[in-house]
């Protein structure tokens, strides 16, 4: 007998002939995430991945926690692997699930019999295991419609598995199955959530952060590292490119109309991020913009910033309001970091009355006094690169 993790991969079941490829990437990602905890065996069978510890001293609480953050997993559960013997199943089900059953009022047993040679039918298995549980916990009642605990017994080819309620996984697609994209990351609430949401769709992430010392502090950069570490708990390691942005912002301040400062700054960010992304074979940019949230996120403003991007720009939060974004940020534990009072470069030289309905011609005219190519080239060449690991 040993405890294992049973993983249901959900959306991957729809991938048809490509499903095996997606499952292989999922297993590779799980392996990376839990390898520091010990050695494991991985099995694929019937839309289920089994994670089996090789030694008995592995922290299964931590394994379960890390597995629950791997994209591509719809549901998962800790399960007891036993021999295909009804006496052993009945003896172990009450003991293994004691912590769940002791404080419950209702339960039911579901049996899944993949091995049709097993001598008992699924209803017979359910009845016998249910009887054993009732004998051990007289406080319980059977409720087949809305039970607090669903005890599942699976009879497979080599083993039987006993598990309680399934846990909800991170969902989405395995990281790396949709290519690579680069997120423009600030220290605010929105961009880490945008990064999380696009990683959930299978993208490997790079990140670009713009720092403007002395207007921004080292604490601001550290804050971004900590935000990305929280995202990396789900996405895996993220390569961070920190761009010195002071020279560009001062040039904009000294040479451009004040009401266009933020828009011109955003256009430079898009140019620089595009250049870095191209060098890293990244195929899209990601931003945390939400339509109408601030002056630079109106429809005309977004069109003007997109005009200088050399690749698609994904905005997963475009239709979300702030409360919806905050809800996700709390769930992935970035909110408390985001609200720390260390300002990022977006707050530097903010105009009193920003332009909300710019035209492309208007911005291009305002930028004529700047040596755009030289400023972008210098910023890209002097980028600092670090790897943020989960």
Confidence of residue 348 (pLDDT cuts 50, 70, 90): confident
Give the mean model confidence (pLDDT) for residues 178-207.
Answer: 97
pLDDT of 383 reads: 96
Q: What is the DSSP string of 291-350?
A: TTSSGGGSHHHHHHHHTT-SS-EE-TTTT--HHHHHHHHHHTT-HHHHTSS---GGGTT-
Among candidate residues 215, 252, 271, 273, the one with its CA nearest the CA of residue 351: 252
Q: Does position 343 have pLDDT exceeding 80, yes or no?
A: no
Which residue is associated with the tokens 């755009």? 372
pLDDT digits 0-9 by tens, 219-255: 999 999 999 999 999 999 999 999 999 999 999 999 9
Give the Cα separation of 204 and 270 in Å (integer).
19
Check if the beta carbon of residue 224 is closer than 8 Å to that of residue 217: no
pLDDT of 310 reads: 95
Cα dist from 186 to 196, 209, 229, whole Å? 14, 6, 14
Backbone angles phi, psi at 183, to 5 degrees: -100, 135
Angle at 7 between CA 5 and CA 9, to 5 degrees: 170
Between 40 and 8, residue with greater pLDDT = 40
Exposure of 390 by Cβ count < 10 A (0-12 exposed, 13-18 middle, 19+ buried)?
middle
Beta strands 167-171 and 180-184 are unpaired
Give the mean model confidence (pLDDT) for residues 368-379.
Answer: 96
- What the block records as the tokens of 201 is 């769709």
Confidence of residue 45 (pLDDT cuts 50, 70, 90): confident
Please name each of the domains of the chain with its CATH number.
2-170 (3.30.2130.30), 180-388 (3.40.50.620)
Give the mean model confidence (pLDDT) for residues 35-62.
Answer: 91
Q: Does position 327 have pLDDT exceeding 90, yes or no?
A: yes
Give the mean model confidence (pLDDT) for residues 66-90.
Answer: 95
pLDDT of 386 reads: 96
Give the Cα separation of 266 and 263 in Å (integer).
5
Half-sphere exposure (CA, 13 Å, Cβ side) for 118? 24
Give the Cα separation of 179 and 201 in Å (integer).
10
- What the block records as the tokens of 333 is 């534990």
Give the Cα separation of 274 and 284 in Å (integer).
8
């Amino acid at each position: 007998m040993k405890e294992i993790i049973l993983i249901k991969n959900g959306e991957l079941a729809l991938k048809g002939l490509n499903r095996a490829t997606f499952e292989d990437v999922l297993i590779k990602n799980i392996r990376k995430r839990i390898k520091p905890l010990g050695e494991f065996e991985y099995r694929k069978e019937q839309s289920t991945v089994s994670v089996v510890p090789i030694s008995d001293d592995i922290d299964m609480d931590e394994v379960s926690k890390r597995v629950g953050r791997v994209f591509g997993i719809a549901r998962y559960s800790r399960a007891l692997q036993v021999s295909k013997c009804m006496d052993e199943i009945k003896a172990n089900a009450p003991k293994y699930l004691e912590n769940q059953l002791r404080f419950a009022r209702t339960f039911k047993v579901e049996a899944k019999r993949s091995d049709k040679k097993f001598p008992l039918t699924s209803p017979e298995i359910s009845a016998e295991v249910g009887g054993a549980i009732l004998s051990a916990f007289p406080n319980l009642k059977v409720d087949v419609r809305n039970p607090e605990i669903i005890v599942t017994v699976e009879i497979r080819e080599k083993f039987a598995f006993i598990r309680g309620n399934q846990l909800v996984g991170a969902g989405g697609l395995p990281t790396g199955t949709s290519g690579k994209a680069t997120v423009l990351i600030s220290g605010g609430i929105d961009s880490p959530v945008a990064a999380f949401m696009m990683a959930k769709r299978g993208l490997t992430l790079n990140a670009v952060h713009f720092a403007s010392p002395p207007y921004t502090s080292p604490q601001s950069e550290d804050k971004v590292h900590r935000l990305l570490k929280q995202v990396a708990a789900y996405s895996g390691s993220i390569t961070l490119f920190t761009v010195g942005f002071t020279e560009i912002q001062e040039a904009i301040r000294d040479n451009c109309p004040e009401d266009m400062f933020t828009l011109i700054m955003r256009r430079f960010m898009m140019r620089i991020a595009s250049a870095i992304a191209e060098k890293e074979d990244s195929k899209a940019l990601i931003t945390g913009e939400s339509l109408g949230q601030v002056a630079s996120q109106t429809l005309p403003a977004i069109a003007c910033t997109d005009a200088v991007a050399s690749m698609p720009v994904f905005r997963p939060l475009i239709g979300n309001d702030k409360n919806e974004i905050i809800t996700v940020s709390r769930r992935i534990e970035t909110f408390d970091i985001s609200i720390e009072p260390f300002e990022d470069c977006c707050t530097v030289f903010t105009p009193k009355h920003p332009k909300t309905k710019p035209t492309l011609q208007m911005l291009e005219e305002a930028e004529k006094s700047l040596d755009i190519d030289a400023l972008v080239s210098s910023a890209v060449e002097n980028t600092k690169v670090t790897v943020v690991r989960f």
